[in-house]
Structure formats: C-alpha cells, structure tokens
Amino acid sequence: MNPSNPIRLLSRTAISTLIIVGVIGLVSPVFAAGKGLLWVQPLSNHPVHKIMQAGFLTKCAKLARACKVVGNPSATNYDIPATLLLAEAALSRSDYGAVAVYAADPAIFPFISKLAHEGYPVVTCHVLPAEGTVNGLLAATGEDIGEAGAQAAVALADKLGGKGVIALTQGSINETENAMSAAFRAKIAQSYPGITVLNTQIEGFEPSAAQAKAVAILQGHPKVNGAFSTTGNGPQAWAQAARATGRNIVIIGMDYIRQNLDLVKADQVFGLVAQPLYEEGVRVAELAAALADGKKVNYRNPLPARVITANDLAPYYQILKEAGQ
C-alpha cells in the first residue's frame, strides 16, 4: 500500500479513548487531518514501554494525527517476529506517512530497511545508532546511553564511598543495555580503583526469575554492597533480593515507573536513571510527523537523562499521572 495515500477516517466513538484492540494495539484518541503514524515496539506491555507510548499518543493527539501502537502484547517476552506480523497487518489495513520502530535489538534493523524500501520514512527511539549504520533510518532520539551509564557509575560509587563490589545485571543482551553496562564499567575502572564490578549477568524480564538471579548473585558474592541494573524491572528484583537475603546494598536501576519511584521513596532503592521515556515518545511523534509531511529533520536528537534520588521524585510522579499511570 502506498504510504502517501490519505488515511481512512474512523468513527468518533471508536477513537474517543485509548483502547487496546487485539492485534491492532493502542490507538490515539484523535483521528483527523494529517498522515498517520505507526509505532512498532516488541514487548509492548512492558511498563517502561507504556510510558514511551503514552508520550507518543499524547503528542499525536495534539498534532491531530491518526496514530497506532503495535507490538507483541507482553511485558516479559521480547518477541520481534510476532511484533513484525502485527506491524505488517497494521500497514496492510491503513496508510501511514511514517513509521517509528523501537530498535534496541539489531535483529529488527532489516525491517527498518524493508520499510524504507517501501517508501516509509522511519524513526527510532531509545537508541542513537550512528548515522548510516542502519539502512533506511532517517532519525533517532533518546538518551545519550554512554553518559547515562557513566552518571549511574558516579552516583553509585560515591554513595559507596569509592569502595566495595558492585553486581551488574541486564534484562537481555541488546544494543542499549550492552552500551549502558560498558559505560558504567569503564567509568568505575577509570575513576574508582577501590571498586570491583562483577561480570555482567542476565536477569531477564520475568520478575520472579530476575529476583532469583539477584539472590543467587548475593549468595555467591558475600562482599557485594552495590548493584546496578540496566533494565526497568531491575530495581524491584534487587530490592526483593536484598530483603530475601537480609543484605544492605546500594541499588541503582533504570526508569521512573511507579513501582520504582515507590521503592526509592521507601529507601529500598537508592536511585534511578531517569531515562527520558515520555519525552522520547513525544519527540518521536514530532519527528515522524515532520517526515510524513516531507520535511527534513536532524538525524540525531539526543535527550538528557539524570540519576534521581529521594529528593527528586515529585516531577516524575506527575509525569506518570499525566500518562495515565
């Protein structure tokens, strides 16, 4: 289907609220003038991903765009093949002026190239691949991953007084988390010779399995006094593991989902890397809409991220409120 064709209009009752419609996914509350935008995101029900999507859909409404989110409906299973089936189905049903693809895993890069070959402008978020490294990708927005990882290292190391052993875990092996871990490890090695960082372990996305992994690390390494997780469920996994083992450890994890903010507020987690999740979704909508209208945009569109602690929580609770969470 030619992406330059006008979008089909839907009834007002069908789009009056954000809804989940089987394989169709989330739909923006406004379907009006302007070429539609499609957001493709594996693991679409993950709470971190839902914040990104909320920013995207909110901005779509303000831009009067017909926007849709598709992805395998899971919070634990990162399924690219299932997501691409849903994306192809959505593309076959409606015309879109641009497509946003969450590209944390290089396995989805061929799909970006395919979309570009078919004439769709493509944007990504949360990762900033070097320009020209992903065929067909016209723009990227997200945090500076290396900077965020280094900031987490400084915050955790300073809290530990520059001494100790830090456990490092990832949700999976992927471009984003690999880069975050590498930057964290490099900063510790450069600036904190009194701290040892253990080999990176994969905690996964299933909560009970992640907790079990963290417990096993603590049981196997009695000198661990700090932990850094590069995935959004990590703060919960490590806080639960600390309670289960009776250990007092300093924890920094990712993302200002409500459960994580509550853990910081309760002094069970020291800090969070406040990735600009909602802001990424907003910026994706802006970039995709501009490309759909034939405008030129900057390829690289970085957003700031910072480590937040107990005194910094109020603005992030407000973001969640605005995002309906």
Q: Is the pLDDT of residue 23 over 50?
A: no
pLDDT tens-place string over residues 94-143 = 989 999 999 989 999 999 999 999 999 999 998 889 999 999 999 999 98
Buried b (16+ CB within 10 A) or exposed e, 222-233: eebbbbbbbbbb
Cα–Cα distance for residue pair 134/129, rounded to 1 Å: 7
Q: What confidence score (pLDDT) does residue 9 get?
A: 28
The CATH code for residues 13-126+277-294 is 3.40.50.2300
Domain ranges (residues) in the chain: 13-126+277-294, 146-274
pLDDT tens-place string over residues 67-103 = 999 999 998 899 999 999 999 999 999 989 999 999 9
Q: What confidence score (pLDDT) does residue 233 get?
A: 92
Q: Is the pLDDT of residue 24 over 80?
A: no
Q: What confidence score (pLDDT) does residue 273 get?
A: 96
pLDDT tens-place string over residues 214-240 = 999 999 999 999 999 999 999 999 999
Four-residue CA torsion sign, 74, 57, 101, 261: negative
pLDDT tens-place string over residues 160-206 = 999 999 999 999 998 889 999 999 999 999 999 999 999 999 999 99
pLDDT tens-place string over residues 34-65 = 589 999 999 999 888 999 999 999 999 999 99
Which residues does 133 contact at the CB level (< 8 Å), separation at least 6?
A: none
Q: Which pLDDT band holds residue 18 (cuts at 50, 70, 90)?
A: very low
Q: How far lies 125's CA from each of 48, 53, 128, 276, 302, in Å?
A: 13, 11, 7, 10, 10
**Short-list 35, 31, 38, 75, CA closest to 56:** 38
For the chain, give the longest Cα–Cα distance: 63
Cα–Cα distance for residue pair 192/152, rounded to 1 Å: 13
Whether the CB-CB separation of 65 and 35 falls below 8 Å is answered with: yes
Whether the CB-CB separation of 116 and 135 falls below 8 Å is answered with: yes
Task: Tell the CATH topology of 146-274.
Answer: Rossmann fold (3.40.50)
Q: What confidence score (pLDDT) does residue 26 get?
A: 47
pLDDT tens-place string over residues 278-290 = 999 999 999 999 9
Average pLDDT for residues 144-165, to the nearest whole number? Answer: 96
Q: What confidence score (pLDDT) does residue 34 get?
A: 55
Q: 207 phi and psi, to 5 degrees?
A: -55, -45
Q: Which pLDDT band holds residue 320 (cuts at 50, 70, 90)?
A: confident
Q: Is the pLDDT of residue 322 over 60?
A: yes
pLDDT tens-place string over residues 242-281 = 999 999 999 999 999 999 999 999 999 999 999 899 999 9
Cα–Cα distance for residue pair 27/233, rounded to 1 Å: 26
Q: What confidence score (pLDDT) does residue 229 get?
A: 98
Q: What confidence score (pLDDT) does residue 3 get?
A: 37
Q: Do domains 13-126+277-294 and 146-274 have the same CATH topology?
A: yes
Full 3-state SS string of the chain = CCCCCCCCCCCCHHHCCCCEECCCEEECCCCCCCCCEEEECCCCCCHHHHHHHHHHHHHHHHHCCCEEEECCCCCCCCCHHHHHHHHHHHHHHCCCCEEEECCCCHHHHHHHHHHHHCCCCEEEECCCCCCCCCCCEEEEEEECHHHHHHHHHHHHHHHCCCCEEEEEEECCCCHHHHHHHHHHHHHHHHHCCCEEECCCEECCCCHHHHHHHHHHHHHHCCCEEEEEECCCCHHHHHHHHHHHHCCCCEEEEECCCHHHHHHHHCCCCCEEEECCHHHHHHHHHHHHHHHHCCCCCCCEEEECCEEECHHHCHHHHHHHHHCCC
Q: What confidence score (pLDDT) does residue 5 get?
A: 33
Phi-psi region of 297 (alpha: psi -120 to 50; beta: other; left: phi over 0): beta
Average pLDDT for residues 24-39, to the nearest whole number? Answer: 57
